[in-house]
Structure 1
Amino acid sequence: MSCPHLPPKPPSRPEKTSLLNYARLFRADILSAQPAKLYRAWMAEFRTPFFRSYLINQPALVDLVLKERPDDFPKSGRVREGLAPLLGNSVFVTNGETWKRQRRIIDPAFEGGRLKETFPAMLEAAQACVARMEARTGEIEVEEETSHAAADVIFRTLFSIPIEHEIAAQVFSEFRAYQRAQPILNIAAFLPLPRWFPRFHKREVKRTAGSIRRLITGLTADRAAEIAAGRAPDDLATKIMTTTDPQTGARFDTEEMVDQVAIFFLAGHETSASALAWALYLLAAFPEVQQRAAEEAATLPENPGFSDISGLKFIRDVFRETLRLYPPVPMMVRENVKPETFRDRKVKRGSQIVLSPWHQQRNERLWSNPDGFDPGRWATEEGRRCGREAYMPFSAGPRVCTGAGFAMVEGPLILAMLLRRLRFETVEGRVPRPVAHLTVRAAEGIHLKVSRR
């Protein structure tokens, strides 16, 4: 489907540019820093004085890196440099045996049965979101609302507290300040700095990251005390903190649990907020899609149960299509531990291997109407094939996002609850402009007219 209100792709940089200009563009918006050829290339090489970078779109190469030989392509330390003040040694940035041990402890909390157990808390957050938006109506900047809702989901499912809880509200406030201050990469991502060399993190980045970690430390310490006293609620935090590594018998200590909570909040809140906001905009821009989705949402009972979500087939496809066009995490970076050959090209050890959901999911050689919004594609054989071969909003392979299943319940649920009660329309002259910092967001926000059905 085409639509005059569909946000255009970010502008592309010239084919040739200096490292200094590339770094400047990258810090401002990683999407505009890339050349247009990436929307049709199977592979592209970028050279800097300090390292080589290879972006790969070809499905077979992506599968090699993410699924077939993931241990040979660990996460790059260059991305970690900018996020270290907040994330420490979380599962998002670790590699090797440390990462495998962390996943052995975390994964059981997000298995199918546990998702069903967290659903009531997720539903409460969705109902609270509907109530807030019903009370406002008129023109609303919806990214603020989806951020509020996604943070509420995280706190209710992780620590059994709503976003209005004093500490939860403080974490949410500090995280919004952190978002404004933190570029996706800092200088250490571009220069070969030794470990002892200062990383030049902004003062506000260090302040907000430190504040968030202190607040999370308090929540974690309180939960440890509740567990010891035998009165802890049966939520995700309790599950993770009481799970032992089946190989070593060890549990997370307080500091490591703080690292994990920080990434749950960053990944689980920031990414869901992005996807929900773009989904609401697309529904507003395509009224016929919104009408069909609203009719499906109306079939839900007043207080839906976990099993009812499986009936939201079209809304799920709307959410999947949103994740295709606006993947919250637009790029992922790996590093090869030994020499490789990609498409007859020698790739030296230590090169940066970039996998881009944004470019692969809009690749002209893989998708029909790659820049168009078409939820119906997921019901076609071609759409299902592309979904298997060239769709990775949650990454893929062993490092697939732990919360992927969680997100695919949360997103359709919140959309359905909103559509049952509210109608969304675009605002004249307010077409959002996608940019990528921590996630793909709108440069000036997403403004919609909201009214009661």
Structure 2
Amino acid sequence: MTPPKPTPRPDKVSLWRYMKLFRKDILSAQPQRLYRAWMAEFRTPFFRSYLINQPELIETVLKKRPDDFPKSNRISEGLRPLLGDSVFLTNGETWKRQRRIIDPAFEGGRLKDTFAAMHAAGQAAVDRLQPQAGTVVECEEITSHIAADVIFRTLFSVPIEHEVAAQVFDKFRSYQREQPILNLAAFVPLPKWLPRLHSRRTRKNANEIIKLIQHLTAGRAELIALGQAPDDLATKIMTTRDPETGHGFDTQEMVDQVAIFFLAGHETSASALAWTLYLMAMYPEWQDRLAGEAVSLDTPDFAVMSHLKLSRDVFREALRLYPPVPMMVREATCPERFRDRDVPKGAQIVISPWHLHRQERLWDRPDAFDPTRWETENGKTCQRNAYIPFSAGTRVCTGAGFAMIEGPLLLSMLLRHYRFELVEGQTPVPVAHLTVRSKDGIWLRVVER
């Protein structure tokens, strides 16, 4: 039994058919042959795209020459209403300055300080789930709630029950449902003066989220001025100065950064945890092993993370099979030549963790769920060269370390108290919205241990 993946499409479809499939579900639009190809070319009337699925090419784009391959504006158009000029969308010197201010908040020592907040969010989730024991639950909704709670507790020292935090969460869920990962700008080059084709609901939800974040940010600025701010991630970021310029974020910049922290820290974590719970339901023997390991949580301090090795391996494997961000798009700033093929200036370079993590020429049994693979030579080699759930190089996700504490910890806390079981006729089908989600949710029966 292997985890489900999208139904492969025919290798050849018309451009307009492909565009329709691509917008509806970016994963199922991809032909089966791409799981073996090192590189593939896609042509539209307006530009060319190249999917690269060879470690050496990916290393060139992400690690060796990242400045020559900035993030493509075609993808950012779909996220601009909410994320503005956040670190997720910017390029060049603006991005470098933003990272110099943000990165210190996520250094190893600071991550240790966030453990208590993560644990509190996990315990709150365990308590919330208790009345539902014995019933069938939709796991993506549950994990979204947990992940949002973690973000608010670590960023602003408030639980999800806080009035403003709860409103942000509700509005963001609406935004996520309305917003596809791509809009028309991904296929057609739109002039800068032409209004972007975002739905009225998308713009409304984005504006309301931004206003709520502005309220939280302004309140924190007042506490910082009074010397009464808690020592959390928001305070750290808002008080950090760029070592090169001496300036920190202004109010609008901070609002944009909080928006991406919420997106990256909530949306991606929720996706990863939900798919991990599904895999645990598919493989109950692994679920029981993790529940046994979770006994170490009797002493809930940061040192316990060193005892959650199985949980970490399982979570790492779930990130391989269901990477929350399935594709990343860069743009060639000058003519290139990849694999004896000319790549023109302005071409879109697509790097797909979804395909790379299942690359048939690299991984042993790429479609199989096997947490023990990380101890094998093949697994260790692929982890170095073909495993990028958080991207790689200078633009690697600044919250990668945060996520690799949060995921295994929350997973262990849930499995210590509950068993998750498959529901007949409810096989989730992965699709890509802002992250890899299930087409109709992930429905599992939760049973108290």
Distance 2:178 2:439 in 1: 14
Measure, in 1, the Cα distance between the counterparts of 2:195 and 2:46: 18
- Structure 1 Cα separation of the partners of residues 207 and 18 of structure 2: 30
Matched, 1:354 2:378: no
Partner of 2:400: 404
Q: Deviations over 1:165-219 (max 9, x none)?
A: 0000000000010011111111122111110011110011000000000000010
Q: SS at the partner of 1:298? A: helix
Deviations 1:87-124 (A, max 9, x none): 00000010000000000000000000000111111110
Deviation digits for residues 287-308 of structure 1 (CA, Å, limit 9, x no counterpart): 111111111112322x411111
1:103 and 2:99 matched? yes
Q: Tell me how far 1:263 sits from its aligned partner.
A: 0.5
> Does 2:164 align with 1:167?
yes
Deviation of the 1:15 alpha carbon: 2.5
Q: More displaced, 336-345 or 289-298?
A: 289-298
Cα distance between partner residues in 2 of 1:183 and 1:420: 35
Q: Which of the numbers 16, 22, 27 marks the counterpart of 1:20?
A: 16
Listed as ranges, the matches of 1:258-269 within 5 Å are 258-269=255-266
- 1:334–1:354: 8 Å Cα contact kept in structure 2? yes
Q: Contact 2:296 / 2:304 at 8 angstroms: preserved in 1?
A: no
Structure 2 unmatched ranges of 5 or more: none
2:219 aligns with 222
Residue of structure 2 aligned with 1:194, choices 191, 200, 207: 191
TM superposition score normalised by structure 2 = 0.99
In the alignment, is residue 291 of structure 1 matched against residue 293 of structure 2? no
Q: For the Cα contact (< 8 Å) 1:142–1:277, is it kept in 2?
A: yes
Give the Cα separation in 2 of the matches to 1:152 and 1:300: 20
SS at 1:300 equivalent: helix
- Matched residues in 2 for 1:181 and 1:447: separation? 21
Partner of 1:386: 382
The one-letter amino acid paired with 2:155 is L
Matched residue type, 1:286: Y
Q: How do residues 22-37 of structure 1 correspond to structure 2 at under 5 angstroms? A: 22-37=18-33
Determine if the alignment matches structure 1 residue 450 to structure 2 residue 446. yes
In 2, Cα distance between the equivalents of 1:407 and 1:57? 25
Alpha-carbon deviation of 1:36?
1.3
Say whether residues 1:65 and 2:61 are aligned partners: yes
Aligned to 2:74: 78
Please identify runs of 4+ aligned residues in structure 1 that moved more than 3 A: none
2:229 alignment partner, SS class:
coil
Q: Distance in 2 between matches of 1:146 and 1:348?
A: 42
Identical residues among aligned pairs (%): 70
Please tell me whether the aligned partners of residues 272 and 318 of structure 2 are also in contact (alpha carbons under 8 angstroms): yes
1:421 partner letter: H
Which amino acid is the alignment partner of residue 381 of structure 2? R
Match of 1:250 in 2: 247
**Equivalent residue in structure 2 for 1:429, among 413, 425, 430:** 425
Q: Is the 8 A contact 1:186 1:199 kept in 2?
A: no
TM-score normalized by structure 1? 0.98
Q: Which amino acid aligns with 1:283?
A: M
| SS at 2:397 equivalent | coil
The one of 127, 139, 164 equivalent to 1:142 is 139
Q: Give the drift of 1:135.
A: 2.2
Q: CA RMSD in A?
A: 0.9
2: CA distance, partners of 1:31 / 1:152: 29
Q: In structure 1, how many angstroms separate the alpha carbons of the residues matched to 2:363 and 2:125?
A: 34
Amino acid at match of 2:252: E
User: What do the CA deviations read for 1:64-85 (whole angstroms, capped 9, x no partner)?
Assistant: 1001111110000000111110
Q: CA deviation at 1:22?
A: 2.0
Does the CA-based 8 Å contact 2:7-2:28 persist in structure 1?
yes
Shift, 1:437, TM fit:
1.0
Give the partner amino acid of 1:129.
A
Q: Following TM superposition, by how much is the alpha carbon of 1:11 offset from its aligned partner in structure 2, in angstroms?
A: 1.9
Deviations 1:26-55 (A, max 9, x none): 211100111111100000000111000000
Kept in 2: contact 1:141–1:447 (CA 8 A): yes
Aligned to 2:208: 211
Gaps of 5+ in 1: none
Count of residue correspondences: 448
Match of 1:423, SS?
strand
Instruction: Identify the residue that residue 360 of structure 2 maps to in structure 1.
Output: 364
**SS at the partner of 1:428?**
coil
